[in-house]
Structure 1
């Protein structure tokens, strides 16, 4: 019985990783097409250099990149290594979430959130925007998932979204443009999926990481701290740290003040 249970666990972890690789391939499409207003369905995947439609053998996550040595099979144009990187990051994230939370409705929501955060991160890095369509999708999918988990989860999500989005809205108003509307909406989504406690932790981690890396970036580039840097990636990183380590961090903080 134990061996059977171990096999199921190993299979679920492997499945989640492979699923993440495949989802990561689709996220690459979203990252390229969403900010440009292109359809996610048509035209089919094609080489941006020669426009040849790619065959199934060209589209295996990670494997095709190395098999083709990072070049298009048809015209020899270089393929960005960011494509397999995003696929691997998605696979790793799916594996870690499944490893920590198992296969539940809650973990499905976290997997969905992770995919949304991946897309938001790289679009924000490239274009300094977080598309509204991405936010609408996250909320449309997240509401029924919260309902399925019961009224307590639904209430926690509502409180978390108002707290997370409201906190960044105040920062955006006080900074007079230093914080974008997309960041506020993304914080609203993070609060909905994580609940108020982990939403607060995610925001705190995002601000700490953003400040630390902002200082390092300013020192490296010799620019002042008023130069705008995208905050979406820090929000995403803070949220995932809260997902994977939040219980221990919150418990440790409460124990520290309770002792």
Structure 2
């Protein structure tokens, strides 16, 4: 895979993400509807360009293999989850199922059964920790967020998932504090957590 192919793959995946998050279940003239996404929605341009850039960084930094593919799959899922979380405060279960299935397939292709078991254990533990926090906080952290972290654990493994969790919580806490200080939010405002998980993963990609 060349750098150009990595970028083009990211752009293609970004386009598919845009179709997923914007499709409303009503059939329209496909080509016209697709280009309208970019004409009327700057977010669609950001998603496509962002995934193209991330795929390029992943390829140039990690080459090909399990690490690169897991990062690429996870960032695509997180882009879609972030948009849905911002729009509706909902993370679709189909994204979590997709991440789990692709995570199992990647582990089967690259690793032994023991490594697959470790990934599944991380999936359960990471999701369980966040699920416990969700119940303790009485909805302060959504169940969908717990499932998203579990998906991250399946694809990245324990060590990187811990880093992502720490970065995500710190970033969301700082954002919340500044939003309250500048009166953009109040203390009871709901806040989408998926974008902070995406931020944590991207920062982990960059810092390696």
Determine helix, strand or coil for the equivalent of 2:182.
helix
2:8 corresponding residue in structure 1: 18
1:215 corresponding residue in structure 2: 177
Relative to structure 1, is the Cα distance of residues 44 and 103 closer, same or farther in structure 2, using a 3 angstrom cutoff?
farther
- Would you say the 8 A contact 2:134–2:143 is kept in 1? yes
1: CA distance, partners of 2:111 / 2:197:
27
Please identify which structure carries the higher helix content.
2
1:205 corresponding residue in structure 2: 167
1: CA distance, partners of 2:31 / 2:144:
29
Find 1:163's aligned residue among 94, 110, 125.
125
Q: Which runs of 5+ in 1 are unaligned?
A: 1-10, 49-53, 71-78, 247-259
- Would you say the 8 A contact 2:99–2:155 is kept in 1? no
- Would you say the 8 A contact 1:159–1:195 is kept in 2? no
1: CA distance, partners of 2:71 / 2:115:
13
- Would you say the 8 A contact 2:84–2:90 is kept in 1? yes
1:166-196 Cα distance to aligned partner (Å, 9 max, x none) = 1111110110111111101101000111111
2: CA distance, partners of 1:223 / 1:183:
20
Q: Which runs of 5+ in 2 are unaligned?
A: none
2: CA distance, partners of 1:164 / 1:243:
19
Find 1:126's aligned residue among 69, 75, 87.
87
- Would you say the 8 A contact 1:135–1:189 is kept in 2? yes
1:174-232 Cα distance to aligned partner (Å, 9 max, x none) = 10111111101101000111111111111010000000011111122254323110111
Relative to structure 1, is the Cα distance of residues 123 and 222 closer, same or farther in structure 2, using a 3 angstrom cutoff?
closer
Q: Does 1:181 align with 2:181?
A: no
1:124-174 Cα distance to aligned partner (Å, 9 max, x none) = 111110001111111112111111121353233123212321111111011
Larger Rg: 1
TM-score by length of 1: 0.73
1: CA distance, partners of 2:165 / 2:198:
9
1: CA distance, partners of 2:70 / 2:181:
38
1: CA distance, partners of 2:92 / 2:171:
23
- Would you say the 8 A contact 1:168–1:184 is kept in 2? yes
Number of residue pairs matched by the alignment: 207
2: CA distance, partners of 1:197 / 1:105:
15
Q: RMSD between aligned alpha carbons?
A: 2.2
